[in-house]
Amino acid sequence: DTGVSQDPRHKITKRGQNVTFRCDPISEHNRLYWYRQTLGQGPEFLTYFQNEAQLEKSRLLSDRFSAERPKGSFSTLEIQRTEQGDSAMYLCASSSTEMNTEAFFGQGTRLTVV
Amino acid sequence: RKEVEQDPGPFNVPEGATVAFNCTYSNSASQSFFWYRQDCRKEPKLLMSVYSSGNEDGRFTAQLNRASQYISLLIRDSKLSDSATYLCSTSGNTPLVFGKGTRLSVIA
């Protein structure tokens, strides 16, 4: 499968725990995006990378959120000290940097904080 | 003002109807425009890119109005299978951002 892959697909965690999600983009794509989506809303942009450089992180929801893409391939999104309000679908997408090329999404990681 | 705004709907239309969605964007530097389709509990998938000259793909037509900063999607001869949420998105000197989506229900 050469699409965007996210792991895990589902995560249930207790409040206060840390969680880490992984995204493997399409191999030739150098842009990688993270979004959060809650019911009835569109994907909310969190951060993105071009290769290993994180180009925008001011929209990460709080300092509990961080993301890395150390070798310009896969990326991880970490949420520390999870809160119930963090429950959502976390979507990863990748694209090339050419104009008018779309982003392809992974199937997402559904986080439930109990 | 939100970067991308859409009427959330829902739009409930009978089979065979024509339906149109609009989307406005605030960043005049936006360069790329897309419509995505999202089914319930699934990831968004590209429906079509939107080009300056407008473009058509079967029953779907997308238009871009840069002067007024909006894009539109027209669906002709609606099918039951068109029921989904339609997301408008833009990018340019900013990362790819999305509207909240417009929900469409096509009714038999």
- Res A46: pLDDT: 95
B8 touches chain A (CB under 8 A): yes
Name the amino acid, one letter, at B91. Answer: S
Average pLDDT, chain B: 94
Contact A105 B43 (CB under 8 A): yes
- In tens, the pLDDT along B3-56 reads 999 998 899 999 999 999 999 999 988 889 999 999 998 999 999 999 888 899
> Per the structure block, which two tokens stand in for A111?
């986080």
- B55-57 and B102-107 strand pairing: unpaired
Q: Are A104 and B43 in contact (CB under 8 A)?
A: no
- Between CA B36 and CA B60 the distance in angstroms is 12
- Res B2: pLDDT: 81
- B102-107 and B11-14 strand pairing: parallel
- Res A1: pLDDT: 54
For chain A, how big is the Rg over CA atoms in Å? 13
Q: Are A45 and B98 in contact (CB under 8 A)?
A: yes
* A66: phi then psi, degrees, rounded to nearest 5: -150, 155
Q: Select from B8, B43, B49 the Cβ nearest to the Cβ of A102.
A: B49
B101 touches chain A (CB under 8 A): yes
B21 touches chain A (CB under 8 A): no
- In tens, the pLDDT along A39-70 reads 989 999 999 999 999 998 888 888 999 999 99
- Res A56: pLDDT: 86
Mention every residue, 6+ apart, whose C-beta is less than 8 A from residue A59: A45, A46, A47
Q: Are A56 and A49 in contact (CB under 8 A)?
A: no
Nearest chain A residue to B9 by CA distance is A40
Contact B101 A42 (CB under 8 A): yes
- In tens, the pLDDT along B42-53 reads 999 999 999 888
Contact A103 B99 (CB under 8 A): no
Report percent pLDDT > 90 for chain B: 80
